[in-house]
Structure 1
Amino acid sequence: MNSYDDMNYMEMDVIKEVGSIGTGNAASALSGMLGTRVRMVLPQVNVLDFNEALNAIGNPETIVAAVMAQMSLEINGIMLFILKPDLVNDIVGRLLGHHIDDYSQLDQMDISALNEVGNIMISSYVNALSGLAGVDVALSVPEISVNMLGGILSVPMIEFGYQTDKLMIIRGKFIIDEKELDSDLLMLPDIVSLNYLMKKLVHNNG
């Protein structure tokens, strides 16, 4: 295939399976970190162009935090987890006992906690991917940044725009003490890796 657009129904279905296992892993890990029950709604997987992705996640000018890690070895690409203010406050409130009104109030301990949540999310999905496809994937040390949503989403487009103008988004919801919070994860293998990954996933799960 030449782009994410070429993925067929079976391939999208397998990615949804990665998403459901990943969310299960993530819910268990977050539950241990936050000391409370965490459930996750079964995620939806969408392949969207840049503007559609922006509109699906939120206002392009909204400030968000995002944790990004690079995938390497058998799969190359980017994993990007977006933390919106309500999720940030739930995590910071539970772990560190305070509330922020905007991202400028985040201190080093807050940033470290949010980076760890992003790391848990990204690792949970990559472990699910590795297990289902039987591939080795290494992750770089995750890095957190705070920027407008449009600026955050432009990072993978700058990296992969020459290959595809699409983004693959795994969208779900955390349910923490009956409160629903958005979970937006972008899984972006490059096109060579996407072809290899789909071949392995469909073969192993066909």
Structure 2
Amino acid sequence: MKTYEELNGLELDTIREIGSIGTGNAATALSSMLGCEVRISMPEVRIMGYNEAIDWIGGPEAITAGVLVHMSGELNGIMLSVQQLEFVNLVLERMMDRTVEHYADLTELDRSALVEVGNIMISTFINALSGLAEITTHLTVPAFAVDMQGAILAVPMAEFGGQSDYIMTIGADFLCSGRKVPCRLLLSPDIRSLNFLLKKLGVLDG
């Protein structure tokens, strides 16, 4: 059984390739929802400690929105779409013809739109991953929260912190109508699922 910190170069490269393909598919899905061509920069896929991941997003006390989905089946774990304010306003402007200055200004309709977008991005990413590895993955109904980033990241820490202190982070920039907004996704399969996934992809013996 390998933990995140024990992955070798080939295994990390495979995970990075999955991240690139999944994020590209998420950008295509976002393009359909927003009604504009969405291009994406080369995604940066890294394995980070939880505290490093929190700093990477913007720090533990920064307020952000998050859409969280649990995975089950042949791949167990969670995936989180972190929606920083630039991303939120891109979605609201394209879908609701409005923007907000603060997360506190979000209406229930705004939240529903953000959940829909986050869910589609996560579902598209996981479907691409499942197709590549030829596995079956089920997703729960998404949960939405606005909180300090340290509190939002506490969910995967509480669920999987006993198995590993690391999490997979996928970062890129979406480009839409001349605007560049950050995309931040965090994927945390449990250790059994991580090993099963690497075996299915042919980069882990056994």
Q: Shared fold (TM-score greater than 0.5)?
A: yes
Equivalent residue, structure 2, for 1:51: 51
Of stretches 75-84 and 11-20 in structure 1, the one that deviates more from structure 2 is: 11-20
Show structure 1 runs of 5+ residues with no match.
Answer: none
Q: Report the alpha carbon displacement of residue 109 of structure 1 after superposing the two structures with TM.
A: 1.1
Equivalent residue, structure 2, for 1:4: 4
Supply the distance in 1 between the matched residues of 2:84 and 2:66 (Cα, whole angstroms).
9
Supply the RMSD in Å over aligned alpha carbons. 1.3
Supply the distance in 2 between the matched residues of 1:170 and 1:27 (Cα, whole angstroms).
13
Equivalent residue, structure 2, for 1:108: 108
Q: Report the alpha carbon displacement of residue 182 of structure 1 after superposing the two structures with TM.
A: 0.9
Q: Report the alpha carbon displacement of residue 71 of structure 1 after superposing the two structures with TM.
A: 0.4
SS at match of 1:99: coil
Deviation per CA, 1:150-198, whole angstroms, max 9, x where unpaired? 1111110010011011111011111111221111111100001111111
Equivalent residue, structure 2, for 1:93: 93
Contact 2:46 2:169 in 1 (8 A): yes
Supply the distance in 2 between the matched residues of 1:124 and 1:66 (Cα, whole angstroms).
17
Show structure 2 runs of 5+ residues with no match.
Answer: none
Supply the distance in 2 between the matched residues of 1:19 and 1:167 (Cα, whole angstroms).
13
Of stretches 195-204 and 114-123 in structure 1, the one that deviates more from structure 2 is: 195-204
Q: 1:1-206 maps to which residues of 2 (within 5 A)?
A: 1-202=1-202
**TM-score calculated relative to the size of structure 1:** 0.95
- Specify the code of the residue in structure 1 equivalent to 2:43: P
Deviation per CA, 1:86-129, whole angstroms, max 9, x where unpaired? 11011111111112111111111101110011112111210111
Supply the distance in 2 between the matched residues of 1:25 and 1:151 (Cα, whole angstroms).
29
Task: Give the 4+ runs in structure 1 shifted more than 2 A.
Answer: none
Deviation per CA, 1:68-97, whole angstroms, max 9, x where unpaired? 000001010001110001110111111111
Deviation per CA, 1:36-81, whole angstroms, max 9, x where unpaired? 1101112111111122111111121111000000000101000111
Aligned-residue identity in percent: 49
**TM-score calculated relative to the size of structure 2:** 0.95
Contact 1:76 1:190 in 2 (8 A): yes
